[in-house]
Structure 1
Amino acid sequence: MASLHHATVIAVLTFVVLVSGAGIVPGTGATSVGEQAVSIQSDALDAMESVDSYRAVTNMDVSIGANRTFTNVTTLANRSLAATSVYSTDSNDTTHVVDDRAYRNTSDGWEPLPSESADVSDPARAQAALLTAATVTDFQRARTNGRLTYQLELAPRNSTLAGILADQPGNGIERAGPVTVLDRSYEMHVNRTTHRIQRVEMTLKFRHRSETGRATMVTWFTGYNETVPTVPDPASLEN
């Protein structure tokens, strides 16, 4: 179950997409940096909605007081097969979901998990949800990993960022409520040609009870609409 918990590191967002006759509509906050930002935001949302498969790698580092936790989560998603594989650094378990059934790989082989465990994260949809709801405060033309991108600066709600933080396992923060966000930045790098999200970066300074903490999160998205292996194949899970 640990893998599933960690897989929700960026899945605390509710996927809300507004649809009109013109396609997916971005949050009105984008108008603060002009019509071009609105267009970039809308194009990215349309592109992410049409994504069928992808790979996402998320690193999250949280320090508070003497405690520091680091999590690495790799998600392979193939929406056409309704299959997702999730891998996490702090556990030897691998979670694999096919349709509405979830399995965990243990020393005794693949074991089925409760039906509610099938609700694993979909990082691409989680980021699209944030992009829909957040204000775009600025954008720059940039180059990310050798590719031309738009670098969007977002202003998510503090409660959203506190929720992302609280979902980091092992850091002693069980609920987002006691977290006060002191300073933050959230950047999204969008490919200028495909309009798909390529990289997401978050930095956060916060207070939890009497202690001040810092958190960083980086997610890379690759392999869009390519053959994304989901191992093992569904047949082997039934054996």
Structure 2
Amino acid sequence: DRAASQADIAAAGLTPPARTAVGPRPRIVTRAGWGADESLREKKFIYTKTVRAAFVHHSGSGNNYSCAQAPSLIRAMYRFHVKSNHWRDIGYNFLVDKCGTVYEGRAGGVAKPVMGAHTLGFNNDSTGIAVLGTFTGAEPPKPALDAISHLTAWKLGLHSVDPRATVQLLSRGGNRYPKGAKVRMHTISGHRDGFLTDCPGVHLYNKLATTRLAAAQLQGR
């Protein structure tokens, strides 16, 4: 609700804008809730200055799972990111399952600008959201799309970001844009907008325009 969102603004150490447009905070399953082994990750957290954009991903792990299995999928992803990729923690800031449940990803505080490892070159001042599933040949479930809208309305709203807007981001270097390139993107973008990849799958990517409008409505814009 609005009171909770105002509390999140204060908890993140942010200054409320003159006209606050923050969507209601969605229910978020904590790391403890999905059974994260906290001994795997690095203990320290890295924060960026703000959150100016959200990058949407798909996990590429298939769609034939039950929602009860989602925590185990996230635990496996977490272990792979840390043990195989040698990242400090799971790469995504948030994850969403086919039933629309939102899960806390990288540790450090869901309301804070935690730096993730989700979009090479654009991890600074952004947040990464992964939908569990593969959407190159299948449509994303409506509950998952609704969850993205609610999550971005809240998370971007904490930083006074309009989900319908575009923003200029500075590339730190990747396979699509060289280091130092200034790139204008939607504040809700797909992984492929910042990196040469099929992610988040054409069917999910094509829904982002609708997601932007829905998130803005949830912010009261």
Query: TM-score, with normalisation over the residues of structure 2?
Result: 0.26
The structure with the largest alpha-carbon Rg is: 1
Name the structure with the higher helix share.
2
